[in-house]
A and B are shown apart, each in its own frame.
Chain A
Amino acid sequence: MKLQIQKSTLETDLIIACKKQNAKAQRMLYDKYATLMLGLCRRYIKGEMEAEDVMIKGFMKVFTKINLFEGKGSFEGWMKRIMINEALGYIRKNKAMYLEIEIEAADKEPDFNKLFTELETNDLLKMVNELPSGYRTIFNLYAIEGYSHKEISELLGINENTSKSQLSRARMNLRKKLLASEQVLEQKKVRKDGK
């Protein structure tokens, strides 16, 4: 509890210093959040370099608009929203978002508990990155960030139903990929047992 209070006071001090454009404080804030923000950008944007560019732009916006942060809600959430907006701007600008129509039937349910223990973060990130951009964006926003379909439709300027259909297709795609990886894992296990 004590630690948490200290942490929060440290962060508010950092924010106050950043509002005064203190370079040291800016560096500290960057060090604290850069990895998390880049991780977020990587979920939306395929290329590593592009994701980093988006993160840099996002941080510039954070530092220049920090005076607009009123202290209501978490600072991390505020930063995330800025990064997401930046990423969406990038996708829109590069016309990288195509709303695909692709029907893939998945006959089986993967074992999620098993996958959770055996899969690594990077495997999942790879799966998300392999999704067509429309699926990926909407899956990220809905499943991971927790936006509603209404919010997504407003953010992306699309129909609410389009958002829903894109999400269900993304899920189907991912399920397929999970099943495939499940199979790979089983095969590995069999080989190990055989030895």
Chain B
Amino acid sequence: MGNRLDNLFRDMLSKHEESPSTQAWDQIHGQLASNKRKVWGKRLAVAASILLFATVGYIGYRSINSLSIKKAQYVINAIEENDNSDNSIPFSEELTTENTNSIQYNTENLVAAVETQAVVEDERRVEKLTEISIEVPAPVEEIIEEEMPLPAEVVLDNSELQNEIKVEEQEAVNEKSTIREAATEELLTENMDILKEPETIKTQSHKKTYSQVKIIYKATENSELIVSGKRKLMDKGIDKITRFSNEYLLTPDRKTKLRNTKEDLLAMNFGKLLNKSNKEIEN
């Protein structure tokens, strides 16, 4: 009974069709269009965010890159400067005028290094460095006085005249030296911290003069690393690397240990497998 009734309804109703109202499609169409708009909006948002991330990343990358270039330059400067200053110039030392040129050269380098350092402010190891002021002497001219030519073989018959001449000569010499003294003093006031011994210049003006040059620098503990030898920093880095590799690379001991554990594991598993297969055979 059930089947015949079911068949009747199935045959009559399964293909039953009814036409919907005209608004039905409009509704569907409207909803689909708004969906499309939403999808495009989403895509646009995604594209915009990707673009934003890319630009931010690029800018970040560039700035990091330039910073690392600056760092590299700084390190190069430091190394070069280190090479130059290593043997030749101990600081805070009396120097003769003979080395003043080389001092100037090196101090220039130092100043350059300090400037570079100021640029690379995020270098932590030298962060505390506040000031390195180096006061450099102006090139001190050698004051070499040629010996006054003595009136050679002048025969004087009058000793008074001779004395007069001597006195005049002496006066002339004095006059000359005072002028020179004034000149040097003027020069020195411009370069305040050059401590010199004026007497030596005055009295031994005919010899090579020595001027005492004092280089004053202020620095913190950390900055001493740069001043006294930047190689220390480098060495530290190398030390770190070697330590790292020692810790994490496979030493022969570790290798043997690993091999042993592996073998143990294999043996255990193998034993289990053997037991299992034995049981199966028994069964």
Contact yes or no, A38 B9, CB < 8 A? no
Shortest CB-to-CB span from A169 to chain B, Å, is: 12
Min CB–CB distance B30 → chain A (angstroms): 10
State the Cβ distance, B130 to closest chain A Cβ, in Å.
67
A-B contact sample (7 more), CB < 8 A, given A39-B13, A124-B12: A21-B32, A36-B15, A39-B17, A55-B24, A112-B5, A168-B2, A171-B5
Q: Kindly state whether residue B163 has any CB partner on chain A within 8 Å.
A: no
Given contacts A27-B25, A30-B25, A125-B16, contact A144 B8 (CB under 8 A): no
Residues of B within 8 A of A116 (CB): 8, 11-12
User: Is the CB of B252 closer than 8 A to any CB of chain A?
Assistant: no
Residues in A neighbouring B24, C-beta threshold 8 A: 34, 52, 55-56
Among A8-16, A57-65, A89-97, A152-160, which stretch is in contact with chain B? A57-65
Expressed in whole angstroms, the Cα–Cα distance for A59 and B20 within the complex equals 12
In Å, the complex CA distance between A38 and B19 comes to 7
Contact A60 B31 (CB under 8 A): yes
The complex places the Cα of A42 from the Cα of B5 at a distance, in Å, of 19
Interface of B is mostly: helix
Least Cβ distance of A101 to chain B in Å?
Answer: 19
Do B32 and A26 touch (CB < 8 A)?
Answer: yes
What's the Cα separation between A169 and B95 when bound, in Å? 121
B176 contacts chain A at the CB level, 8 A cutoff = no
Residues 61-86 of B contacting A (Cβ, < 8 Å): none
Within the complex, what minimum Cβ distance (angstroms) separates B28 from chain A? Answer: 5
A-B contact count (CB 8 A): 93
Distance from A175 Cβ to chain B, minimum over Cβ atoms (Å) = 6
- Residues of chain A lying within 8 A (CB to CB) of residue B31: 60
How far is A121 from B28 in the complex, measured between Cα atoms in Å? 28
B203 on the A face (CB < 8 A):
no
Q: For the complex, is A119 an interface residue (Cβ under 8 Å from B)?
A: yes
Known: A52-B20, A52-B21, A115-B8. A59 touches B15 (CB 8 A): no
As a 0/1 sequence over residues 1 to 44 of chain B, the CB contacts with chain A under 8 angstroms (1 = contact) are: 11011111111111111111100110111011001100000000
Q: A residues within 8 A CB of B10?
A: 143-144
User: B27 and A128: CB pair below 8 A?
Assistant: no
Q: Which residue from chain A places its CB closest to the CB of B3 in the assembled complex?
A: A143
User: In the complex, A52 Cα to B25 Cα: how many Å?
Assistant: 11
- Which A residues lie within 8 Å of B27 (CB)? 56
Bound: A42/B10 CA distance, A: 14
State A125–B18 Cα separation when bound (angstroms). Answer: 11
Q: CA–CA, A125 to B8, complex, Å?
A: 12
A35 interfacial contact with B, CB 8 Å: yes
Q: Quick one: which of B1, B9, B20 contacts A35, CB cutoff 8 A?
A: B20
Q: Chain A residues near B19: list those with CB within 8 A.
A: 34-35, 38
Contact of A144 among B4, B13, B18, B29 (CB under 8 A): B13
Q: Enumerate chain A residues within 8 angstroms of B8, measured Cβ to Cβ.
A: 112, 115-116, 124, 178
A165 to B136, CA, bound (A): 111
Nearest opposing residue in chain A for B1, CB measure: A109
Interface centre among A26, A38, A43, A143 (most CB of B within 10 A): A143
CA distance A128 to B16 in the complex (A): 13
A174 at the B interface (CB under 8 A): yes
Known: A56-B24, A174-B9. A42 touches B32 (CB 8 A): no
From A23, A55, A112, give the contact of B4 (CB < 8 A): A112
B5 close to A175 (CB less than 8 A):
yes
Given A35-B18, A56-B24, check contact A121 B29 (CB 8 Å).
no
19 contacts between A and B (CB under 8 A): A21-B32, A23-B29, A34-B24, A35-B20, A36-B15, A38-B17, A39-B16, A39-B17, A60-B31, A63-B28, A112-B8, A124-B13, A128-B9, A143-B5, A143-B6, A144-B13, A171-B2, A171-B5, A171-B6
Residues 126-149 of chain A, each 1 if its beta carbon lies under 8 Å from chain B, else 0: 001000000000010011100000
